[in-house]
């Protein structure tokens, strides 16, 4: 998630969101609107592309579907109409295995897996507000990807409906995707290669 601007009003709904300019991207979290611009850094796009390709390749011909931002996910509290929904998010990557949740507007209800790639200005919101939102709505598996520190944190929903402590993976680890029996993701294929810098010992100069 990127951007930090907030629209000032007591409460927004999906009905409000649908009237805003199409070239603007916003998310609603508990009725508060967050601006999704400017576009993320290139490393964010690189990681998103690699992860999306891995999921898309694995899911080809299978019933689950993978999508990437911009793609609206409406998270209703109950049976309220779309117009009254106060939580609308655009995860970087999401996997949905229940076709009934998909419609022309995007997804209504919790995806099975969500990935958020962190940006400096929004990392705390992704890791706190959105993690709590996804836990509350029953997202089974939630990843945060930290490009700066080259780390992935994976939260799994327990039988009590809560996320336990995250599993933390470095850029050379392999992640077992819990919602599938046979999908492993090698993070060396996800994070951009780092250029190794060879530092030579300083030359010794003799005085003439």
The CATH number of the domain holding residue 46 is 3.90.1570.10
- Does 14 fall in a domain? no
- Give the torsion sign (CA, 29, 35, 37, 42): negative
Residue 152 pairs in a beta bridge with 145, 169
Specify the pLDDT at position 42.
92
- The tens digit of pLDDT for each residue in 31-84 reads 999 988 777 789 999 999 999 999 999 999 999 999 999 999 999 999 999 999
Domain that holds residue 71: 40-189
| 143 within 8 A of 116, measured Cβ to Cβ | yes
Provide the 10 A C-beta neighbour count for residue 101. Answer: 17
- Does 1 fall in a domain? no
Residue 203 pLDDT greater than 60, yes or no: no
Residue 199 pLDDT greater than 80, yes or no: no
- Does 86 fall in a domain? yes
How many distinct structural domains can be found in the chain? 1
Confidence of residue 1 (pLDDT cuts 50, 70, 90): very low
State the Cα angle at 194 between 196 and 190, rounded to 5°.
Answer: 155
Specify the pLDDT at position 7.
58
Q: Compute the mean pLDDT over every residue in the chain, rounded to the nearest whole number.
A: 90
């Amino acid at each position: 998630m990127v951007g930090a601007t907030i629209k000032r009003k007591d409460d927004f709904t999906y009905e409000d969101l649908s009237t805003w300019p199409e070239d603007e991207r916003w998310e609603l979290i508990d009725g508060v609107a967050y601006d999704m611009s400017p576009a993320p850094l290139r490393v964010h796009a690189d990681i998103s592309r690699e992860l999306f390709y891995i999921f898309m390749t694995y899911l080809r011909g299978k019933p689950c579907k993978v999508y990437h931002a911009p793609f609206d996910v409406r998270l209703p509290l109950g049976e309220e109409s779309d117009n009254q929904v106060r939580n609308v998010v655009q995860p970087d990557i999401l996997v949905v295995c229940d076709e009934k949740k998909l419609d022309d507007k995007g997804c209504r209800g919790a995806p099975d897996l969500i990935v958020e790639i962190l940006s400096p200005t929004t990392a705390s919101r992704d890791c706190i507000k959105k993690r709590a939102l996804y836990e509350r709505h029953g997202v089974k598996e939630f990843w945060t990807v930290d490009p700066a520190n080259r780390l992935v944190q994976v939260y799994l929903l327990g039988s009590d409906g809560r996320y336990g402590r995250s599993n933390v993976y470095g850029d050379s680890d392999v992640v077992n995707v819990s919602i599938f029996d046979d999908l492993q993701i090698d993070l060396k294929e996800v994070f951009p290669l780092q250029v190794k810098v060879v530092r030579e010992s300083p030359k010794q100069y003799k005085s003439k």
